């Protein structure tokens, strides 16, 4: 897709980006509504099982929904700087588009009817979310199941007998399991190679030196926390997939913990403004009257926006802290990309 944009930001807002989009047409409203929520659920699972990103999801407000949609649902992820990123959306369109563009189908009764529509999509923006959720000062931290290189084998003192042969054997054995593995046998120093693959975010580094060879083991180092594990060479096939799974789980849990810790309940608008003025503002859960005027006031005064109305609602208070009118919904607010 290519689009005209006033300002661009790498991976998050590009003039040109890759994108996955689906459109479906349904006989009934119920079926179409179900589809929009089911796809949202697939995206949440993709976050949990592949990207190691815990998404907050829910319905967009009237102001923030996609123009023309009856309902828009979104996935929101919290970046390391405390801002939210909308990482994907699904929409229920009703039959409005069908009527506007005269899209009809022949029903079981042989009549021409207007179908109910949905659309949904995610884009290369997800790459931006991986970088900003997991990355650290040394560079990328790739979640294992989407990492282009999952393991890098680095031989130490390559000239010593047996080292290179064993390093090649490790690579071949892991490759046979379907693991995306590479061997760096270039003449750069091991330290240089460590930094290089850390920067690229390779989840596991497998070191093999003369001492390890004697002990029939390899040293496996986790990218995200530098933890070292000694793995007997004969157990590689069993242990490496386990370690990748553990790393994935730890990344997910760390991201979840950061997001949970950055989420506060708020019942006072002055306090809300104070939170949003902080360099790291995070998510704020607050009651809302449902009136767009309050949404606009919040946006003007704090630049924060409603991210979504979560499906799991909590009763934090009876009134909207902005206007004092009865509260209708609990909403996630955040500053966003
Ligand atoms: Zn209000």
What's the CA-to-centroid distance between 295 and ligand 1, angstroms?
8
Distance from CA of residue 202 to its chain's centroid? Answer: 18
CATH number for the domain whose boundaries are 263-334 = 3.30.110.30
Nearest alpha-carbon partner for 276 in 307, 246, 251: 307
Kindly give the distance from the C-alpha atom of residue 330 to the centroid of ligand 1, in angstroms, as a whole number: 12
Q: What is the largest CA-CA distance in the chain?
A: 80
User: What's the CA gap between 188 and 250, in Å, rounded?
Assistant: 31
Q: Is the pTM of this model over 0.95?
A: no
Cα of 61 from ligand 1 centre, angstroms: 13
Distance 38 CA to ligand 1 centre (A): 31
Tokens of 141: 């931290």
Distance 336 CA to ligand 1 centre (A): 21
pLDDT tens for the chain, 337 residues long, are 888 877 888 888 888 888 899 999 999 999 999 999 999 999 999 999 999 999 999 999 999 999 889 999 999 999 989 999 999 999 999 999 999 999 999 999 999 999 999 999 999 999 999 999 999 999 999 999 999 999 999 999 999 999 999 999 999 999 999 999 999 999 999 999 999 999 999 999 999 999 999 999 999 999 999 999 999 999 999 999 999 999 999 999 999 999 999 999 999 999 999 999 999 999 999 999 999 999 999 999 999 999 999 999 999 999 999 999 999 999 999 999 9
Ligand 1: centre distance to CA 316 (Å): 14
User: Looking at domain 19-134, what is its CATH homologous superfamily?
Assistant: Bira Bifunctional Protein; Domain 2 (3.30.930.10)
The SS3 assignment for 128 reads helix
Class of the CATH-defined domain 144-245 = alpha beta
CA distances from 173 to 141, 166, 178 (A): 24, 10, 9
In this structure, how many other beta carbons lie within 10 angstroms of the beta carbon of residue 107? 11
Residues 185 and 158: their CA atoms lie apart, in Å, by 8
Ligand 1 centroid from CA 37, angstroms? 28
Domain ranges (residues) in the chain: 19-134, 144-245, 263-334
């Amino acid at each position: 897709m290519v689009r005209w944009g006033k300002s661009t930001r790498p991976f998050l807002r590009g003039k040109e980006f890759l994108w996955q989009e689906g459109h479906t047409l349904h006989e009934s409203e119920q079926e179409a509504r179900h589809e929009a929520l089911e796809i949202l659920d697939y995206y949440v699972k993709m976050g949990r099982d592949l990207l190691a990103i815990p998404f907050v999801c829910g319905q967009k407000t009237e102001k923030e929904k996609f123009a023309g949609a009856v309902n828009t649902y979104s996935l929101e992820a919290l970046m390391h700087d405390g801002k939210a990123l909308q990482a994907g959306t699904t929409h229920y369109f009703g039959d409005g588009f069908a009527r506007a563009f005269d899209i009809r189908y022949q029903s079981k009764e042989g009549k021409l009817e207007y179908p109910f529509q949905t659309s949904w999509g995610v884009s290369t923006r997800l790459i931006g979310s991986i970088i900003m959720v997991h990355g650290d000062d040394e560079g990328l931290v790739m979640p294992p199941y989407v990492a282009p290189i999952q393991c890098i084998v680095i031989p130490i003192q390559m000239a010593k007998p047996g080292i290179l042969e064993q390093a090649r054997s490790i690579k071949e054995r892991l490759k046979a399991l379907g693991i995306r593995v590479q061997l760096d046998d270039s003449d750069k120093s091991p330290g240089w190679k460590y930094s290089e693959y850390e920067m690229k975010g390779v989840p596991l580094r497998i070191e093999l030196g003369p001492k390890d060879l004697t002990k029939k083991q390899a040293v496996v180092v986790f990218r995200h926390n530098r933890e070292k594990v000694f793995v007997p060479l004969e157990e590689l096939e069993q242990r490496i997939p386990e370690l990748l799974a553990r790393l994935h789980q730890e990344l997910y849990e760390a991201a979840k913990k950061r997001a949970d810790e950055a989420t506060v309940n708020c019942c006072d608008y002055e306090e809300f403004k104070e939170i949003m003025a902080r360099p790291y503002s995070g998510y704020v859960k607050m009651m809302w009257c449902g009136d767009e005027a309050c949404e606009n006031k919040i946006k003007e005064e704090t630049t924060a926006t409603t991210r979504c109305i979560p499906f799991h609602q909590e009763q934090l208070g009876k009134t909207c802290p902005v206007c004092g009118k009865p509260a209708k919904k609990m909403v996630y607010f955040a500053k966003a990309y």
